[in-house]
Amino acid sequence: DAKTTQPPSMDCAEGRAANLPCNHSTISGNEYVYWYRQIHSQGPQYIIHGLKNNETNEMASLIITEDRKSSTLILPHATLRDTAVYYCIVHFPLKGTDKLIFGTGTRLQVFP
């Protein structure tokens, strides 16, 4: 079973920041938080990951709470092309497996 909980859907106006929350209250100390997104009928695309510090790359920012029980993915200036299902996943990459457990994700709709 997935170890994360996400709202099923969110809306965001184009040009505004999209803040997608994720709860992972049972995360263990060596598990990372990963975010992927899936645009309709395509394969999931990696966005960002982090352990405990906030992270930023060209696509997004990841804010992880100090207790690591929740996180927020931030798309600073959402565009229509950001409309997708966003998945938050906890995973320990050095565990000898690359298996990812996907939950139901958040369907983000960006509107003009």
Partner 1 sequence: KAGVTQTPRYLIKTRGQQVTLSCSPISGHRSVSWYQQTPGQGLQFLFEYFSETQRNKGNFPGRFSGRQFSNSRSEMNVSTLELGDSALYLCASSFPDRTEAFFGQGTRLTVV
For binding to partner 1 (CB under 8 A), which residues are involved? 32, 34, 41-46, 49, 87, 93-105
Q: Of the two residues 17 and 51, which places its CB atom closer to partner 1 in the complex? A: 51
Which residues on adjacent β-strands are paired with residue 85?
38, 107
User: What is the CB neighbour count within 10 angstroms for residue 75?
Assistant: 21
CB 28, min distance to partner 1, A: 16
d(CA 26, CA 16): 31
Alpha helices for the chain (secondary structure H): none
CB 32, min distance to partner 1, A: 8
Q: Of the two residues 37 and 68, which places its CB atom closer to partner 1 in the complex? A: 37
Q: Of the two residues 10 and 14, which places its CB atom closer to partner 1 in the complex? A: 10
Which residues on adjacent β-strands are paired with residue 35?
48, 88
